[in-house]
Structure 1
């Protein structure tokens, strides 16, 4: 278990099976929040859905963020995409942990796992409504690039070199 907030014990980030109960609960919260934020709702099946096994080694990882009480409060996934780059998907932090560095720590851990997968470049996309996410990505060294996928919810695509 990795303490993502050294000395504070506020949260931990660990790789976990995407089909585990806590992982499914975190993903349900993620989908629910996007459904409330997006004017026309959110259907994860229309957002460049993953293939079975995409977030399982050796093709990828699913990470779960837990608060100090052990409750699932965030998640994110990384997979090797066609073309050999890593792609970050389903990154979400509960409002209960926002502003405490959990998003930045999760992003850094996803990048570390992308490197473990042998990738030198990582990409991600995000929706126009997710301004805080775009700010986080920019501050972490991501640069905006042309669309690389057909995710109908995405309006911004980013890339970062890991080397």
Structure 2
């Protein structure tokens, strides 16, 4: 019997697998927001200059999750505060996504733990994130893993609730 496991690896956001996963992520969150399928042009526009290039050392990290060798999900962390000795440094959790076919297999929690480890390795002491109220599954995931609502640390059109936790 073969045991299928989750594998997480740092990857540039512009590799073919990372690009496809980022497109799928944007498609899902935009389509849910607009209550209609996002077009390819809208996805392209949403990914243009989206800051994902910062999800690489020394400012961040991006991970691709594979299940049974198949690209199944992704996520990133972005340092928000200066380096120094790491005291008080916050990292933002962003672009956390699992393709629907891979949900329910323990990957979301494992990906979250992987991203928290990546943030610690960058010197972060606290993880923060923002999301929308309609992304109930994401909000449930964060609450199950010790994230609590916090005051807004940033603003934007798609930000409705903020979470944080100590690492």
Q: Normalised by the size of structure 1, how large is the TM-score?
A: 0.85
Aligned pair partner of 1:86 in 66, 81, 91: 91
Q: Which residue of 1 aligns with 2:85?
A: none
Q: Does 1:154 align with 2:159?
A: yes
How far has the Cα of 1:45 moved from its partner?
Answer: 4.6
Greater mean deviation of Cα atoms: 31-40 or 101-110: 31-40
Q: Which residue of 2 aligns with 1:122?
A: 127
Aligned partners of 1:137 and 1:51: how far apart in 2? 21
User: Gaps spanning 5+ residues in structure 2: where?
Assistant: 83-88
1:103-123: CA deviation from partner (whole Å, max 9, x where unpaired): 100001100011001110010
1:18-29 alignment runs, 5 A limit = 18-29=13-24
The question of whether the paired residues in 1 share the 8 Å contact of 2:60 and 2:78 is answered with: yes
How far has the Cα of 1:151 moved from its partner?
Answer: 2.8
Structure number with larger C-alpha Rg: 2
User: Gaps spanning 5+ residues in structure 1: where?
Assistant: 1-6
Q: Normalised by the size of structure 2, how large is the TM-score?
A: 0.83
Q: Which residue of 2 aligns with 1:97?
A: 102
How far has the Cα of 1:10 moved from its partner?
Answer: 3.5
How far has the Cα of 1:67 moved from its partner?
Answer: 2.0
How far has the Cα of 1:57 moved from its partner?
Answer: 1.1
Greater mean deviation of Cα atoms: 147-156 or 21-30: 147-156
RMSD: 2.2
Q: Does 1:11 align with 2:17?
A: no
Q: Which residue of 1 aligns with 2:73?
A: 74
Aligned partners of 1:151 and 1:145: how far apart in 2? 16
The question of whether the paired residues in 1 share the 8 Å contact of 2:13 and 2:52 is answered with: no
Instruction: After the TM superposition, list the runs of 4 or more consecutive aligned residues in structure 1 that deviate by more than 3 angstroms.
Output: 40-46
SS at match of 2:104: coil
The alpha-carbon distance between structure 1 residues 31 and 18, as it changes in their structure 2 partners (threshold 3 A), is same
How far has the Cα of 1:82 moved from its partner?
Answer: 3.5
Equivalent pairs counted in the alignment come to: 153
SS at match of 1:96: helix
The question of whether the paired residues in 2 share the 8 Å contact of 1:25 and 1:72 is answered with: no
How far has the Cα of 1:132 moved from its partner?
Answer: 1.0
The question of whether the paired residues in 1 share the 8 Å contact of 2:149 and 2:161 is answered with: yes
